[in-house]
Structure 1
Amino acid sequence: MNATFLSMKNAVIEIVSYLFILLFFYTGVMKLTDHRNFYFVMDKSHLLYRFAAILAWVIPILELAIVACLVVPKWRRVGLYASFILMSVFTIYVAYNAFFLTHAERPCTCGGIIEQMNWQQHVVFNACFTGLALCAVLFNKKRAQAPDTGTANLSLS
């Protein structure tokens, strides 16, 4: 395989990993520092209210656990898969809220900059991050399946 292509795939994996580290660290910390409000808003959701007490802890802890996986190279693959799965679930939830609920029925559990988005923008944002996670998972999977040929074969000569 072309060394330049491998370098680009590795760069995509690294960039996507860092983007998710920033996103999930930011959102996880925001949800924990304002835990009471995060729980209160989740409790207003007609989909989540039954599970709000546990989800208010599980979601930010899961986000921070994914950050830890993405930071440790040995666990990065797990972190990328977890990022894709969590973003897929978030995207479905946000899309459901955006397209099937009235404005009054849409509690927003987001914080900071993301809270400033409208629901349609939030769907696009989540879909883009889900797509990035999928690309990184696929690139990482193909990288792991390729035989280890050492760095000597990666020269550009």
Structure 2
Amino acid sequence: MKTIKTRFVEFTSYFFILLFCYASISKIMDFENFQIQIAQSPLLSAFSNVMSYGVLVIELAICILLIFERSRKIGLYSSFVLMVSFTVYIYMILNYSEFIPCSCGGILEKMDWKTHLIFNIATVIIAAFAVILYSDSKRQEIFKSVSLLLVLSIVSCSAIILMYRQSEFMIKKENNFTRRFLQHPITEEKRSNLQINSYYFAGISKDSVYLGTIPLHFY
């Protein structure tokens, strides 16, 4: 039984190391785009500069904590807190945001936001189980771990909500020239091949589109 608990904690630690390493490396390789995505977030626009660096540092720091046995428990708690924060963030995006921004890069970009939410909830549960199993089998120690997890969950949720409210206030009342652009404001309904590239858009009426022509050569 002890071996099963130990293996579960180890595999969970390796899973989060892989997850956070991949996520952080993907962000670093396309850091400029990552910063733009954070700046366009309806929840974190005002903190985009700090958050873009802060998330990377936290993810890499957690990876280091999970590698070593002495700091693994702290790393598991940190993984739990980070995944709870991500989960609350996605939930608020889906339910309280004016629009839904682009998702993360890499493999996670293939998930839609609802699938991403389910994935994050699963990782939160896995991290919580790993923390509980890492504790001693004594009922008192398990109670302490569960209580601490609940407190950390409340703190994480409160922090994300507070950042959202503060970001909205700063964007609307104390704007620092951060501009948010709606995703896909124009939707293509129909396309026609005119077989020539010398036309340009000249105007539109209720039921007509007007095109102009330009000469092929300029002298």
Q: Same fold (TM over 0.5)?
A: yes
Residue 132 (str. 1) matches residue 130 (str. 2): no
Q: Does 1:112 align with 2:111?
A: no
Give the counterpart of 2:40 among 38, 44, 48.
Answer: 44
Change (3 A) 1:12 1:41: same
Q: Which runs of 5+ in 2 are unaligned?
A: 143-219
Higher Cα radius of gyration: 2
Q: Contact 2:35/2:49 (CA < 8 Å) preserved in 1?
A: yes
* Cα deviation code 1:22-50 (max 9, x no counterpart): 10000011112211111101101121011
Is 1:38–1:109's contact at 8 Å kept on the other side of the alignment? Answer: no
Asked if structure 1 preserves the Cα contact closer than 8 Å seen for 2:43 and 2:93, the reply is: no
Measured against aligned partners, the alpha-carbon deviations of 1:33-82 in whole angstroms (never above 9, x if no partner) come to 21111110110112101100010001011101100100111110110000
Within a 5 Å distance, the mapping from 1:1-157 to structure 2 comes to 5-101=1-97, 105-142=99-136
CA-to-aligned-CA distance 1:97-148 (integer Å, 9 cap, x gap) = 123335xx222351111111011100000000011000011111236959xx
Which structure is higher in helix share? 1
Secondary structure, in 3 states, of the residue corresponding to 2:135?
helix
Q: Unaligned stretches of 5+ in structure 1?
A: 147-157
**How many residues are matched?**
140
- Counterpart amino acid of residue 77 in structure 1: K
Q: Which has the higher contact order (CA 8 A, sep 6+)?
A: 1
Question: Counting strand residues as a fraction of each chain, which structure ranks higher?
Answer: 2
TM-score normalized by structure 2? 0.61
> Given residue 107 of structure 1, which amino acid in structure 2 is its aligned partner?
P
The percent of aligned pairs where both chains have the same amino acid is 35
CA contact (8 A) 2:77 2:127 kept: yes
